[in-house]
Structure 1
Amino acid sequence: MELNRAASVVKKVGPWAWWRTWWQRQSPNRQDRFANLAPVAAVVLFLAAIASAFWYLRVEEIEREQEAIKRDVEYAQQRLRLRLLERQEQVMRLARDVSNKEIRPDQFLSRAEAMVQQYPEFMSLTWIDDRRRIIANQSVSSISPSQHLRAGTVLKVSETESHFSLARDLMQPIYGKVDADADKDAQMAVLQLHSPLSNDQGRFSGVILAEYTMEGLLRYGIPTEVLAKYAVALQDGKGHLLAGQTIPGRIALWSLLPGSDKPNNDYEVPVSPVGNDLILRAQAWRTSQGLVGGGLFWLVGVLSVMTAWMLIGNWRHTRRRIQAQKALVAETNFRRAMENSMLTGMRALDLRGRITYVNPAFCQMTGWSESDLVGAVAPFPYWPDQDRELLMTRLEEEISGQHSAGGFQVRVKRKNGQLFDARMYVSPLIDATGKQTGWMTSMTDITEPNRIREQLAGSHERFTIVLEALDASVSVAPLGSEELLFANKLYRLWFGQNTQGHLRLVQQAGASHAADPMDEVDDMVGLPTESLTVATSENAEIFVSELGKWLEVRSRYINWADGRLAQMVIASDITPRRQAEELAAQQAERAQTASRLITMGEMASSVAHELNQPLTAISNYCSGMISRIQAKQVKEEDLLFALDKTARQAQRAGQIILRIRSFVKRSEPNRTLSDVSAMVSESLELAEIEMRRRHVRLSHHVAARLPQLMVDPILIEQVLINLMKNAAESIDNANRSPGQRQVELRIVPKQIDKQSVVEFSVTDTGKGLPPEDIERVYEAFFSTKVEGMGIGLNLCRSIIESHQGRIAAENLYNAGEVTGCRFSFWIPVETTLTTQQPTGVNE
């Protein structure tokens, strides 16, 4: 419908009137856009016309060149074909004479020599029989002796073999190309002609092999006018150069046009009768300058460039003017929008103190309209009555230029009589010529900031009160400075008003985290690897001798109010807690001693029986010696023997008592590098007493070359004796037969979680543990025995864990029946000294 309406309008008023009407209907922006695009369209159309004209002329020239090269190449191909056919006919005539036995080998050599000398394209002529034996050969003298085919030799199997077989099968002349790589002469490619021979019965009797040089065929088979005009080359079917020359990189841009599949300056055709294995290719030499070398081309080019340059310059000038106009409009709109949207009130005064401009924010703040304020003089309507004298003084100072750069605070009255706090800033108002025309005043409502400031002051006061009332010392100091930024009451009570206490706490806390003094560390070892302000707090427990207190020190890096990086240190008094820990450690030590006493109490009858043997022996030896002395029947040797036996038995009793005393006596924990074999031997001496009483056989295995362990040997012996005693009791309670009453102790090295450890295991043949109680046997005061106290195994676990080890128990099964129990624990080889002591007891 709109198109029909436009067409009817064009018919009524004419095209020019319609164009003028359409142009007037467009907006100014659209008219500027169309006017801006017109020069661009003109330049594009002009350049397109010039490019099309030159492209048309170039296409015409290419077509003429292509027709000329095609015609010349086909003529050269015909000449080369005729020469090959002539040489083929001569070779076939020679082959017929050989087949009819009209010539002998010596006559063949003379005729071949004449042909080679007469026709230089021949490289050699060879007579080959049906067994591939060379009868005679005539070659040109220019080839190397190694390439001569000698009479009496057999033709080597190569690519020539296929051509020889094909000529034998078809009984027709066969052409075959031999590449340079296939020949001994790496500089020459050869074309072979196999002409078959037949005997009297018509059977195959050999071939006459004629070899042409590709260079000879090119030189003597191609007309000289073609060779002078083009770069002529002979190629194989794969495009490899056999003879002649080519022009690399002569592919014209015009060949990239649609419909063109090869360069326009060359042409190639197959050479008959050889076929597609031999291609004749010619490339035209460029002898003329073409269109680019003509003066008309350069004249048109210069005029085109000047025209395009002027059109583009005019377009750019128009575009810059339009952009400047748009920027001016945008800047005006932006400033107006900024003034209307900003929350800061703006007021302009002339040099006499009259208001000349106010923005909407100023009107919104005061409640007065622009018409009420513009043109007003002091006193202004928004001045409070009680502050008029002060504000009048301020206005006089403002007009005289005596204003502060930081502004001043005043009270402003709204139209409804409400007052609010405001801060005003004054600056000179300069026009475009650089002359001062008045003063510009900006006003900001600071009622809410004042309220927030008061709240912050109150919050800071409450915060200070809380920090002052803390039972921990809090201090903040910048890094690399001795200034104390903050210190609460407890810090001042402990360390005074300087930073010496803060630095001492940081130094001692860092020393508590330090590694082995033999390790090499750098100066930044105390700093966290991540950003200081996001690093986690560092805790340390130190003893301050001046205060006689244990303090827990926590430090953290913070950004201070002024942007400096500071360190905050919080120190809490943990002296009561440390005293409680020491008391707990003492209680744990007493529990260990009590456990050993209980163990020895349970083994009292066994120990008494063990001591009874040496004491009885001593008594018997003494009685016997007395009797024999009284009867005066004793000899000195017998007396010495009896006294020696008595001393040994007394020594044995003393060793048993000494071992019991060293096991049950109370001593301070002493971790040293201890030998595993020595600890096992000490524990076996006491455990075997209980084993013999219960008729249990004890076997042990200690691996060779075990490393030393950093342990308390008495505690480890206590664990081993407890486990072996429990194993003997389990066997006794299970009423095992004499053959099944045995306990095995094994100590072997192992790797657990990529850590070298020594594993101790005690295996018995008792009735094992109830499955539901395996995880509970280590709990305090839990026991699977009726008379058990429930402290032994808990104490064992505490001792092992204090040495950074682990203890475990498992039942042993045979076809679903429990056949015993295995308790094992391991201790790491490389362990650090620790002050932690076992705090629990269990069995």
Structure 2
Amino acid sequence: MPMASPPAPFQPLAPEAAWRRQLWLFPAALALAFCALVVAWVHGIDTNERNAFRRLLEADAASVEAQLLARLDAERASLREIAAQLPAAGAAGDTALQALPPVRAGLDRLWNRLVWLDASHQVVGRAARTPSRAATAGGDLQIRARGLAQHLQAPVPGGGQLLARYEITDLLGSTDLVWLNQRYEVSFLSALGEVIATTASFARPPGGMAHERALAASPELRVVLRPFAQPPAWWRSPHTLALLAGLLMLGTAGSLLLRRQMRQVARAMAEAHREAAWRQAMEDSALVGLRARDLQGRILYVNRTLCDMVGWQAGELVGLAPPLPFWPPDAVDAMLARNLDTLAGGAPRTGYETHWLHRDGHGIDVMIFESPLLDPQGRHVGWMGSIVDISVRKQLEEREQRHGELLAQHARLHDLGLLASELAHELNQPLSAVMGYGAGLAKAMRSQPSPDPVLMDAAEQVHRHARKAGDIVNWIRRQAQRGEPQRQAEDLGALVEAVCALRSRSLERRGIRLDKQVPPQLPAVPLDRIGIEQVLTNLLRNASDALSARTGPRLIRVRAGASDTEVWVEVHDNGPGLGGRTLDELAAPFRTTKQAGASLGLGLGICRSIVEAHGGLLEASDPPEGGACLRLRLPRLALPDLPTPTAHEVLP
């Protein structure tokens, strides 16, 4: 089944950039750019053709030069053969030299005079071409000027040399240039620029570029080639100009049509934009969060209220599938199970409550109402959720509940204070009687001639403990009656030793080893001895209770020490530890980690209040080696007397 795709959230229409309003010119600009590319391409081809044609001119001129050089090389070879035969042929004298067949052949080909010189440059013989055998120009070559001559020479065996004179025009006339005359007008120029020979004709004038080249066959001779035809320039081609004009016309027509279409689209977009603005205004003004999801639970749409509710932007939420970022990490499994039930259609129509997390970490309570999401064809394509933030209502409910609990705690504390005061009053007289009987018993036994030491010690212990119990009862009465504290300088180390000695037998019976590390002399601290004694006793009792379930070795380590500003006592057990709980949680009234009925949950709170009334601190931590560690810190300097908290003050 296709996934629903709700319209995108409305965005304010920004002013259209000037360059966007000119986009209708794009087809014309594209056609113009294409024409420019065509022109550049054709121009490149034309340039390549012209360069190729120029290279052909250079190659043809070099071919003319090579042909002339080859002809001269052949004449030199023939002249060397004749020179080699002269001594043996006995051709001394003009007649004998003239009669030699190779001489006559050379005069018929090119030479117009032949001279044989001996070693002293004296003429041995001459031969000359007769006018009837004068060389004529071949092909279409027209001789314009005569008289330019060159010489060929060859050494004669035994000394001397053979000289052959020829005219440049005869060399040109005897060279085969028919293949060249079909493509070029060929002209030979002297060093002064005078035309010696040419194939120029009024019937066939040349056109285009010309190429001039100096000939190595004669330093005073240059050849000029003018082609009769060459590649035409591209801008002279009517086909090319028609193609470019057609492209420009098509581009212009496309631009005009695009401009018309853009105006129609702009009007339609303005209408759609107004409709989207109305729809978005209504969605954003809703006081409930809106969320659309597909059948797989993927978010398709959220409104602004929901984004503000969870602290995430719409772009960050749309497209996400469960688990979602605002789900509490410790409730992901339960959330996934509820999500599957909702996607299966099991969400109650009356809605359900759940707990989410804002992006900044604070929790929010929401009420979610789910309903099917249908497409225009009526097909079920997802779920539409309405989310109401009920955090304020939940906070008010929790505050009211906490207020009721607080009133109940105050009532219990009030009753407990009254009970403590009454118990202290009722116990005072029996304890006084026990103290009197104990003292009298001890005095009577001491008056005996040989008193039993065991009975004497027991009587003294009864008297001492009864007196201690009386001190504690009196201390409780002072706390209940808000009497003035009785502080005096005390040795905290000695007090620790006394409390440990008092609890040592009880700890031994429970299999707990007590390890004391108390310096012999600690600085005196102004304190209420009974109060601090009760604090230390309670800390040892709590440590002992924490080790009750331990099967291995049980250890309580008591350490004391002092710094420049304070004296401290530390009680460390190897039990299960605090479990991540803070001192505020442990000292809360009527809250205990012990079994039901084993404790009222007041001891640690009272201890904390007594220590703070002395200007000190009570700290709790989980040491790296395990167990729990509670530290009592009291200032060394004498502080102004502070009212010792009563039973009502020590418990909030």
TM-score past 0.5 threshold: no
Bigger RCO of structures 1 and 2 (CA < 8 A, at least 6 apart): 2
TM-score normalised to the size of structure 1?
A: 0.22
Larger Rg: 2
Q: TM-score, normalised by structure 2?
A: 0.28
